[in-house]
Structure 1
């Protein structure tokens, strides 16, 4: 009896030891290794948990921040809302209008064309230097301007391209019309009651530059006001920010800004000669 009892105890101990070894080996099985690997990126899980957890206020804040970053990226590289600050482009554009500026319009080899409405940085052509100010205020204003909530920087302008590099632009013919390369231009987009220009000029636009004018000629400070400056009032193509393609706000004025057909009849540069680049006369 005692012998059978001892054998039974040894058998139990042996089975217990065997089961322990099997459990130890199974803890290092390939399946568990895969689970450990899958659970490895704990910092990413913690970050995801922080973003999705914390209640509705935290989630709303995260969504708002991500949306703001996305909007700033889009406005910085693709399309930017631009608040019209003045009457210089009436009646095409009115103060308070928001236009969508296509920043990709001239990024792939295309250049501004006659009739395009463009936004450009006037530093060096319309302005000597960018106005200085409080850096913090400048950053906040730039961010607000990027989404069309604030007026653009003082160095940013919106005008219509009337002449491109090589064009001879003159004012005016016997009927008071501007001529481009000898072709009179019927500017139906001008504000009613405005003449094409009260300032006579005759200029050949240097290559790589633009002659720009507002549609409300009597209320626009444009290339005519900088005839005596370097470049004769023209703007470098490299300073163009983008092309205004749409009026997005207010809703009642939602429309596309088309290139006027009147410029289609203008001949290529070189048809007429006689004015020096940057020259002007009264």
Structure 2
């Protein structure tokens, strides 16, 4: 039988969790309502990297009757979530913060901010750097006599997957810092693995980008630089932690 105090505590946590989730959903909804009027314009802007490299007779098409409505609607909904991520993470932080120690709070809050900024940076990098190169390659290798008419829903699904992939891959510094914080590894160990990491990021670049050296390098180099940034951040945190431990007075 659950004690009355534990039951009340669990109920209060569930109520707060529901409140936090509702606030996060409300933030996404408010952003969506502000953007839905511009849904067609947003999709047009998203399609620019492909439209800019299509041949003279190339165009985007809708193979489903409802695609002209649902594709911009889906894009606006996903974009609303991306824009509202700071508020969503703030609600997550507000829920977990009371259960953290002071030193954990000092680490988690900056990590949430850094994770958000890096996610946005990954999306921007994909749109402004990778998309123009990738779509130019894809349209350039089309066999003679093949008309390039991309379905708007298929294009949306493709770019959203790349957005997510690049947004997640740009979380490398945060992941490294968390690994160092948990004691799973150290900056020294990560430096020793640098040659394997360099080979690994170029393999990932080969798998995620078209088979040309330029686009592969444009993905691999940022991932390598983010890895080095993560090692630097992990070294600073480890050094600060060691200094704080040495400054503690023995009991």
TM-score bucket (shorter structure): under 0.3
Structure (1/2) with the larger helix percentage: 2
* TM-score normalised by structure 2 residue count: 0.26
**Bigger Rg over Cα:** 1
